[in-house]
Amino acid sequence: MGKRQLRLDRQGAIATLTFDWADKANTMGQDFAPQMLDALAEIERDKAIQAVVLTGSGKVFCGGGDLFEIMSPDRVPVEEDVLMVAGYNAVAERLYYLRCPVIAAVNGPAAGGGAGVAMACDFAIAAPSARYDIAFARLGLSGADVGVPWLLAHHLGPGRANYYMYTAGSIDAATGLGLGLFVEVVAAPDLLARAQELALQITQNYTPLTLGITKTAMRHGSRMELRANLAYEAYLQAVAFQAAGHKESVERYRQKVLKKGSGK
């Protein structure tokens, strides 16, 4: 089993995390979950990082589970498979709740659990060749893997999610754009630069504190009943009101208005 290279690059407040084993179609082997969890923990610790871009090298975003490494025609103890699948599921959970926003730059097909990894990001942009292959059934497996059923239903609603799950369908870039799975479709040579541009825009719009608060509200608030969410947001926003960044921004804005009003 060869070690697969997960590349983490930093540029200012932006981290780019790349599945960099294109010779294996960026499939998920036995070391995928520990490597990803280590990389995400490193991002969590580095408070200078405020946005993340997740992408794949070559022509595939993530080819799903490696059929030759994590699957076998021979029976193995079910406990081993439970632990292995739980590891991949932990990656989706960590991505979904990561401290800062994660943009998936889907450069090509994302198959099976690879689609779950992409959908666990805050939003996704796609190359024209991108697609989500909901292909578990073709391997004699359930569709309940790497959060795909929950994430797909969250993005599309239960009806469309059921359709793609039960038909083991594929969602190409154009269809995904229309359904809201992708927010933009970008020419392949420009995809990574566009994702990094969006990440930079995010870091410029918010202070680290207010970006974290906004991520918390987006991930948790939508699961609440409205009245509970509004009460929750009051406390979140009150913290932002007390922050130095807010006070400084208000003072700059006031001075700008006063200067404009005086004609200076």
18 shares its domain with 140:
yes
147 shares its domain with 176:
yes
Q: Which of 43, 137, 127, 30 is nearest to 84 (CA)?
A: 30
Pairing between strand 123-126 and 184-185? parallel
Residue type, 69: E
pTM above 0.85, yes or no: yes
Could you read off the pLDDT of 9-53 as tens digits, one per residue? 999 999 999 999 999 999 999 999 999 999 999 999 999 999 999
Work out how many domains the chain is built from and give that number. 2
Could you read off the pLDDT of 63-115 as tens digits, one per residue? 998 888 887 778 888 888 888 889 999 999 999 999 999 999 999 999 999 99
CATH number, position 62: 3.90.226.10
Find the angle CA(46)-CA(63)-CA(43) to the nearest 5 degrees: 5
Least confidently predicted of 2-6, 41-45, 141-145, 231-235: 2-6
Is there a domain that residue 1 lies in?
A: no
Q: What is the total residue count of the chain?
A: 264
On whether the CB atoms of residues 35 and 41 are closer than 8 A, the answer is: no
Domain containing 223 equals 206-262
185 shares its domain with 225:
no
CATH number, position 224: 1.10.12
Q: Which of 238, 203, 256 is nearest to 14 (CA)?
A: 203
155 shares its domain with 179:
yes
d(C-alpha 13, C-alpha 61), whole Å = 23
Higher model confidence: residue 65 or residue 263? Answer: 65
On whether the CB atoms of residues 58 and 26 are closer than 8 A, the answer is: yes
2: confidence class by pLDDT, cuts 50, 70, 90: very low
d(C-alpha 186, C-alpha 108), whole Å = 12
Q: Is 145 helix (H, G, I), strand (E, B) or coil?
A: coil
